[in-house]
Amino acid sequence: MHTELSTDVLIIGGTAGGTAAALVLAEKRVPFLVFESTDWLGGQLTAQAVPPDENRWVEEYGCTRRYADLRRMVRAAYLGRPIRDGFRTDPRLNPGGGWVSRLCAEPRIWMQCLHQQLASLLGDPDLKPVHFGFTPVSATADGDRVRSVTFSHADGRTITVTAKYILDASDLGDLYNLAGIEHRIGAEHTSVHGELHGHPDKTDPADQQAVSWCFALEHRPGEDHTIPRPKNYDFWRSYVPQMTPPWAGGERLFSWTVPSHNVEGRRTFRLVPWPDQPDKGELEMWRYRRISMRRLYQDSAADQYPDVTLINMVQMDYWQRPLLGVSPADRAAALAGAREQSLNLIHWMQTEAPRHDSDSKLGYPGLKLRGNELGTADGFAKACYIREPRRLEALTIVHEGHVGTEQRQKAGLNTKALNWEATPFGTGERFPDSVGIGHYMIDLHPSTAGRNNVYVNCAPFRIPMGALIPKRVRNVVCAGKAMGVTHVTNGAYRMHPTEWNAGEAAATLAAWCLAHDLEPHAVHEYADHVRHVQDVLAADGVRFAWPWEV
């Protein structure tokens, strides 16, 4: 069955950015439709099951008002459970107690809060503007405008949508490929933008960050939940990555060592699963991304809420095949490969991993895949975690010289902060068209071209409006992480709060354009128009400068 629809704003992807965009449009009463390939809103927060990697200032001023509201809703959701009194009064409750984030919580709870947040604005608990299970398959364009996008469902249904504005919030920048919008994939040669950590030899489209298929585990000591030996286990258990620069130490991938391109960057962590406790102050892998903490709950309810950890570590990074610039069949093979690698890692953890409590025994057979918190039956996330999408050829391309601490220091641009104690990372480019802020390290996981990881300091940065607007196409705005960044700076701009902020900014820009009969290019061209949009963002609780920059 084929259906044709029209709307003012079409959002491709119900990711963190896509959901944020929908919240803005719902609040402003702008007609919109969202098409999401899974059955959950939230993207990396939910369907991909990645606890939010956040900047260190996220609780004070490092996120938007709507994102802060979501965080409060997630914490409040746990107050309805039988948790211990000592946790009830903690305004910064971390329900999972994971050390990767200030708010490690179950993906299902994040999803429920996102649905509630949007449903309350729509007055519609069924979220009728959101179409789940639909993937974009084609698009039509008329000159410099995209006219329509067609989506397909696994059950055979197709829907074609015409829209005045289209926001790409997909994990892979799907619209750019379908509509012929200029974009980049892979790594730029260092000469393109003069980046300190650009590709030293060439621009390489095949140089793409690894993907990861996350999964959740509980631990039942004394029980055996070992999964059958997976396909290709002999390969994965002995695999030693061949990387440039070399894999420091030359260890097998499957180990408790987080490798690096240099000896200084190598870190070894133990796994100390419940009920055992790590040493005081020890950072270990069970509590790294733990999403459910048994001790949060009263004794009468503890069995109902066991310790559950989310596994997302370099040992499951899949870089054997790229996702972008390949055929659909090859992309499907890459995703299947990522899932297979994760399955092999589970089996290794159950059977051969060094134990924290014994020099003679190997493996934790009591580790059991746990899907309840992820909304799945098998314990795997609903979707693969995508770090690097197609990247928009935008009016502004954010490169390492704008935000890289080391590069800005070498260029004499790492200026001291104004009216505030300087951060240890310096300050980033003060884009006057900023529509948001963010911060994360420049964190590039090993790539599909065999390049080793990059993990270097990054300044707290701004999100320029120009990075969300295509150079040519007039009615498309980026509402997620597929913005105008380089391969290097994508490593910093891809995180949850930044993607969310981009979604809010894109929707605000689209709504302002509709209200004033202007296109994004015309807004960006005039400083007065940019300031008007910034005024709307500021009134909505979006920050576009860090306090120390004022």
Residue 343 CB-half CA count within 13 A: 16
Instruction: Please give the average per-residue pLDDT across 177-189, as a whole number.
Output: 98
Q: How confident is the model at residue 419 (pLDDT cuts 50, 70, 90)?
A: very low
The token duo for 134 is 């639909």
Over 70: is that where the pLDDT of 415 sits? Answer: no
pLDDT value for 312: 96
Strand 2-12 to 158-168 pairing: parallel
pLDDT digits (tens, 9 = 90+) for 67-101: 999 999 999 999 999 999 999 999 999 999 999 99
Instruction: Please give the average per-residue pLDDT across 421-442, as a whole number.
Output: 90
Q: How confident is the model at residue 258 (pLDDT cuts 50, 70, 90)?
A: confident
pLDDT value for 160: 98
Taking the C-alpha atoms of residue 51 and residue 71, their distance in angstroms, rounded to an integer, is 12
Instruction: Please give the average per-residue pLDDT across 314-338, as a whole number.
Output: 97
Q: How confident is the model at residue 30 (pLDDT cuts 50, 70, 90)?
A: very high
> Does residue 306 have a cis peptide bond before it, meaning omega lies within 30 degrees of 0?
no
Over 50: is that where the pLDDT of 161 sits? Answer: yes
Say how many C-beta atoms besides its own lie within 10 A of residue 533's C-beta.
23
Taking the C-alpha atoms of residue 60 and residue 52, their distance in angstroms, rounded to an integer, is 16
Q: Is 495 in contact with 53 (CB distance < 8 Å)?
A: yes
Instruction: Please give the average per-residue pLDDT across 300-308, as a whole number.
Output: 93
Q: What is the DSSP letter of 416?
A: P
Query: Mean pLDDT, the chain, as a whole number?
Result: 95
pLDDT value for 416: 59
Residue-range domains of the chain with CATH: 2-185+388-549 (3.50.50.60), 215-374 (no CATH)
Q: How confident is the model at residue 338 (pLDDT cuts 50, 70, 90)?
A: very high
pLDDT value for 296: 96
Over 60: is that where the pLDDT of 417 sits? Answer: no
The token duo for 33 is 């439709």
Percent of the chain with pLDDT over 90: 90
Q: What is the DSSP letter of 200?
A: S
Could you identify the residue written with the tokens 């800005």?
Answer: 408
Closest CA to 472 of 185, 178, 168, 182: 182
Over 50: is that where the pLDDT of 420 sits? Answer: no
Taking the C-alpha atoms of residue 312 and residue 49, their distance in angstroms, rounded to an integer, is 9
In three-state form (DSSP H/G/I as H, E/B as E, the rest C), the secondary structure along 57-107 is: CCCCCCCCHHHHHHHHHHHHHHHCCCECHHHHCCCCCCCCCCCCCCCCCCH
